[in-house]
């Protein structure tokens, strides 16, 4: 089997849904991965070393999950940490760790709030402070009680990660970062098709050995991490075990955050770049103490805007280069809020219009005197009016 045939296999097309027991599912998918690795024929890397390493990684992941589910979380963590330390050169390298690209510098966050809340500030849609750690639940890359800022590359992906609750309203803010403040982001969004595209690009042929060596050793982690939650009810989700351990490891290795695929969007219907998430853990210093306040100052965000039907009263002009408000006597908008569009048409959709509005909003830093100032969330025309209107 050559590398192209390997990467095209259906088993590697994550994220996944599954019906069986989680550990059984993990065991089956890793066994199939190892079978394919053993049948792989590549002449530009040390294939025997690759097979040996992949076997060690896969068996270590399975053992770690078994230990965790048996109540031995310390041993579980140690197994994964040892694996990551052993193969660190393949994970924390220029292939997977880099700064946030300019196109991702505008990120978004949605939050559900009580309907009786009519005033919010920027701080109300920011990371939960340490003093409120009791409110922090479990998430894919963070454990309960630990502050971690989750942002999406579009309002579309955020709306799927934070589903609307009928009894509550939703607010959204756009985030920006100062250049070069978060240079070490671990990118885990590469699917086999992405690697195939790299292989096709002859300009990168000198990097093929490094890319393949790294990716095939990372793949067992991706195969386990990218499982959709099978049972939403209850506080524990086995699908989060490995990703939470991974985040704890990257924190002590000076990685600022992780970029990853959403398991809740359909990537056949939208450009992948609009369906990514970032997880930024609150950092700690060399002594294990929080650097929460320093971390918070790296972000700028817009005042929260309430998501409601007013957004559907926006439209583009005839040249489609400006987004305009429609008055009460103007034409109606036919774009439906829940319509799923591909990346080509995204900016004409409900979510694209939200993103467009927020890109023109004023941003505030935690040190700004207005950061904690309350304002009426219904007053979005005043706060979100684009500069060219």
Q: How many domains does the chain fold into?
A: 2
Residue 192 and residue 168 share a domain:
no
Given a cut of 60, whether residue 384 has pLDDT beyond it is no
**Shared-domain flag, residues 26 and 163:** no
Calculate mean pLDDT across residues 64-70. 97
Q: Are residues 124 and 66 in the same domain?
A: no
The residue range of the domain holding 204 is 3-99+182-264
Share of the chain above pLDDT 90, in %: 42
Q: The tokens 């409110």 sit on which residue?
A: 135
- Identify whether residues 343 and 245 lie together within a single domain: no
Q: Are residues 314 and 171 in the same domain?
A: yes
Same domain (yes/no): 42, 20: yes
Confidence of residue 187 (pLDDT cuts 50, 70, 90): very high
pLDDT of 229-241, one tens digit each?
999 888 899 999 9
pLDDT in tens, 287-327: 555 566 677 788 888 888 888 645 544 455 555 444 454 43
Instruction: Using the Cα atoms of residue 161, residue 268, residue 29 and residue 21 in order, give the sign of their dihedral.
Output: positive
Which of the two residues, 108 and 373, has the higher pLDDT score?
A: 108
- Who wins on pLDDT, 331 or 3? 3
CB 314 within 8 A of CB 326: yes
The mean pLDDT of 27-44, rounded to a whole number, is: 95
Taking each helix axis as running N to C, give the angle between helix 192-200 and helix 208-225, from 0 to 180 degrees, rounded to the nearest 10.
170
CB 318 within 8 A of CB 296: no
Cα–Cα dist 191/3, whole Å: 14
For residues 192 and 73, state if they share a domain.
yes
Q: CA dist 233 to 71, 112, 239, Å?
A: 21, 18, 13
Q: How confident is the model at residue 328 (pLDDT cuts 50, 70, 90)?
A: very low
Same domain as 221, residue 81: yes
Pick the last residue of a domain from 264, 281, 296: 264
- Pair (237, 277) in one structural domain: no
110 has pLDDT over 80: yes
Residue in 301, 261, 284, 299 with CA at minimum distance from that of residue 383: 301
Say whether both 131 and 240 belong to one domain: no
Q: Final residue of a domain: which of 264, 299, 326?
A: 264
pTM of the model: 0.86
Lowest mean pLDDT among 73-82, 164-173, 225-234, 274-283: 164-173
pLDDT of residue 381: 46
Residues 92, 196: one domain?
Answer: yes
pLDDT of residue 102: 64
Are 81 and 212 in the same domain? yes
Please compute the mean of the pLDDT values over residues 215-243 and round it to a whole number: 95
Measure the CA–CA gap between 138 and 132, rounded to whole angstroms: 14
User: Of 234, 264, 294, at which residue does a domain stop?
Assistant: 264
């Amino acid at each position: 089997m050559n590398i192209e045939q390997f990467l095209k296999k259906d088993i590697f097309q994550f994220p996944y849904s599954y019906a069986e027991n989680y550990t059984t599912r993990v065991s089956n998918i890793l066994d199939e991965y190892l079978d394919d690795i053993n049948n792989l024929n590549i002449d530009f890397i040390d294939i025997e070393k690759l097979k040996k390493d992949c076997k060690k990684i896969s068996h270590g992941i399975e053992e770690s999950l078994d230990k965790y589910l048996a109540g031995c979380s310390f041993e579980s963590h140690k197994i994964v940490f040892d694996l990551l330390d052993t193969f660190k050169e393949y994970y924390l390298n220029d292939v997977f760790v880099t700064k946030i690209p300019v196109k991702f510098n505008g990120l978004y966050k949605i939050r559900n709030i009580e309907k009786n809340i009519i005033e919010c500030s920027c701080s109300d849609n920011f990371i939960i402070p340490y003093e409120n750690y009791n409110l922090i639940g479990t998430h894919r890359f963070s454990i309960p009680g630990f502050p971690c800022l989750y942002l999406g590359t579009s309002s579309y992906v955020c709306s799927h990660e934070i589903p609307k609750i009928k009894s509550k309203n939703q607010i959204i803010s756009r985030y920006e970062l100062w250049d070069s403040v978060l240079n070490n982001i671990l990118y885990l969004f590469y699917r086999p098709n992405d690697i195939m595209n790299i292989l096709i690009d002859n300009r990168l042929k000198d990097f093929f050995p490094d890319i393949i060596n790294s990716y095939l050793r990372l793949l067992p982690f991706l195969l386990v991490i990218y499982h959709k939650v099978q049972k939403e009810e209850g506080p524990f989700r086995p699908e989060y075990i490995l990703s939470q351990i991974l985040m704890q490891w990257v924190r002590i290795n000076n990685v600022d955050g992780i970029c990853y695929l959403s398991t809740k969007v359909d990537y056949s219907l939208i450009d992948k770049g609009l369906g990514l998430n970032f997880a930024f853990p609150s950092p700690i210093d060399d002594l294990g103490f929080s650097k929460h306040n320093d971390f918070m100052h790296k972000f700028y965000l817009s005042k929260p805007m309430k998501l409601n039907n007013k957004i559907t009263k926006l439209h583009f002009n005839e040249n489609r280069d400006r987004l305009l408000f429609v008055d009460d006597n103007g034409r109606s908008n036919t774009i439906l809020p829940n319509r799923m569009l591909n990346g080509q048409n995204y900016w004409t959709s409900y979510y694209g219009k939200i993103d467009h509005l927020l890109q023109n909003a004023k941003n505030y830093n935690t040190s700004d005197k207005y950061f904690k100032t309350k304002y009426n969330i219904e007053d979005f025309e005043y706060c979100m009016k684009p500069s060219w209107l």
